[in-house]
Amino acid sequence: MHKCNLMNRSLLILLICSIFFMSITATASYPKTFTDTQGREITLDKAVERIITRSPDEARIVVALGYGDKLIAGEQATKSCLCPTTFENFTEGCLDCYHTIIDGRMPDLPEISTRYDIYYEKIAALKPDIIFCSSLKDAEAFEDKIGCPVVVLGGQGWNLGDDGYFKSIRVAGEALDVEDKSDELVSFIKGKVDMIKSVTDKIKDEDKPKVYFASRGATKGFYDPVEGRDFTRSEPKYDPLTIAGGVNVASEVNGSSVNIALEQIIAWDPEYILITNGDAGNNTGLDFIKNSPELASINAVENGKVYNCFSPHCRGTPPDRNLLNMIYMAKLFYPEEFKDLDIEKEGNEIFKAFLGVDNVFTEYADYLVWPREYLDSL
C-alpha cells in the first residue's frame, strides 16, 4: 500500500512537471512571428536577452514588463526621463529611483543616441537581440545598419485607448513573451482611467469647464521662435484633460502639437489655463501668464484659475506623467467630487507600476516644488 502511494505520488509529480514544461515551450517556442504597431511582420529566432531602446518611452515599457535587467543601452535622455532628474548631471530629482532602477545600472547605462544622432557602430558592437523604437524611419535605418529585429512600438503616452499606447504595450509584451504582464499593465492603466471616468462621465457637458492646455509651458513667453513652441503650443487631442472632465478649447483644431494664434486663445476665453512645468522650483511661465496684459480679460486669469501641471513630454510622451495629469486635473476641476482622491498615493502607485520603484512621486513632488505646494494647500 505504501509503495503504491509513493508510485502514484511520483507519477503525479511527473505529470505536473510535464504540463509545466509543455506550457513554457508553448509560450516561448522559436522562431516566432508577430506584427508591430506599424503592421510590420517581425520574426525572432530566440528569446530576447539583450535589448536596446531608441527613446525613453520604449525603455519605460521594457522596465514595466519586467525586462529592465535585459536593457543594455538607451537614448541619452533615458537616464533623466524614466526617473525624473536634472538633465545630464543627475544631481537633483528622483535620485533614489535613479540609483535603484534596472538593478542600479542606470548611471552606467550606455547611450546609443541623442535627440538628433544615432551611434550605429556602438549599437552594432553591443550585439542587441532586439531594438525597440517609435518610428518607421528609425526602424528602417536600424534594420539596414544593424540587422537585428527591430520593433516599432510608437504610440503617445496620453492616448489612453486600445489603438493608442495600449497597443504599444501589448506588442512589446508579445515580443518579450510576457503577454500576461502587458495585460496587467493595461488593466492597471484602465483602472485609473475608470476611477476618474466613473465621476466625470456623469457630469453634463455644459457643466464642464473650458480649458486651455499649454503643453509646452510658457517659460519663453507666448512663442519660442527657436523651437516654435511655448504658451501657444497645445494638444487638440489630450485624453487626460477630457477624461478629467475638462473641455479642451483646442479640440476642433486639426493636427497634433499645434501652435495657436494668441487671439484665438483669447477668443476661446477658457475658464482654466494649465501650463506644463517640469522646471524644478521655477514659476516663470506661470507668473508670465498670470501677469500678462494681453490675457487680463480671460476668464481663467480674472478668476485666478491659472495653474501649473505636469509636463506630458520627456523626449517622448511618458504615460506615467500623463496619468498624473489626468488625476491632478480631475482634482483641480472638481475638488468636491474628488475630495477623497489622494494624489500622492495614486502617483506613487503609477510610478511603481511603470518603474518598479517605491515613492517616486513623493520624490518628484518635492523636486518640482509646485506639486508639493499644491498638495500642502489641500
DSSP string, 289-314: HHT-GGGTTSHHHHTT-EEEE--S-S
Report residue 229's pLDDT band, with 50, 70 and 90 as the boundaries: confident
Q: Which residues contact 41 (CB under 8 A, 6 or more apart)?
A: 33, 34, 35
> What's this model's pTM, rounded to 2 decimal places?
0.92
Q: Give the dihedral sign, CA 236/242/244/249.
A: positive
pLDDT of residue 27: 53
Report residue 282's pLDDT band, with 50, 70 and 90 as the boundaries: very high
Which percentage of the chain shows pLDDT scores above 70?
93
Does 7 score more than 80 pLDDT? no
CATH code where residue 64 lies: 3.40.50.1980
- The mean pLDDT of 87-98, rounded to a whole number, is 95
Does 228 score more than 90 pLDDT? no
What does the pLDDT look like over 151-164, one tens digit per residue? 999 999 999 989 88
Q: 40 and 90 share a domain?
A: yes
Q: 109 and 170 share a domain?
A: yes
Which percentage of the chain shows pLDDT scores above 90?
89
Q: 64 and 168 share a domain?
A: yes
Q: 282-305 burial by CB neighbour count: b if 16+ within 10 A, else e?
A: bbebbebbbebeebeebebbeeeb
Instruction: Provide the grid cell at 197.
Output: 471616468
Does 79 score more than 80 pLDDT? yes
**DSSP SS3 for 33:** strand
Does 11 score more than 90 pLDDT? no
Does 9 score more than 90 pLDDT? no
What does the pLDDT look like over 327-337, one tens digit per residue? 999 999 999 99
Query: Based on the structure, what is the number of domains in the chain?
Result: 2
**Residue 238 counted as domain residue:** yes
Q: 225 and 356 share a domain?
A: yes
Q: 232 and 154 share a domain?
A: no
Distance between CA atoms of 186 and 191, rounded to whole angstroms? 9
pLDDT of residue 12: 53
Q: 184 and 207 share a domain?
A: no
pLDDT of residue 328: 98
Domain boundary among 127, 156, 188: 188
Q: 45 and 68 share a domain?
A: yes
pLDDT of residue 3: 45
Domain boundary among 188, 222, 248: 188
Q: 217 and 319 share a domain?
A: yes
What range does the domain containing 84 cover? 32-188
**DSSP SS3 for 334:** coil
Q: 184 and 215 share a domain?
A: no
Average per-residue pLDDT for the chain: 93
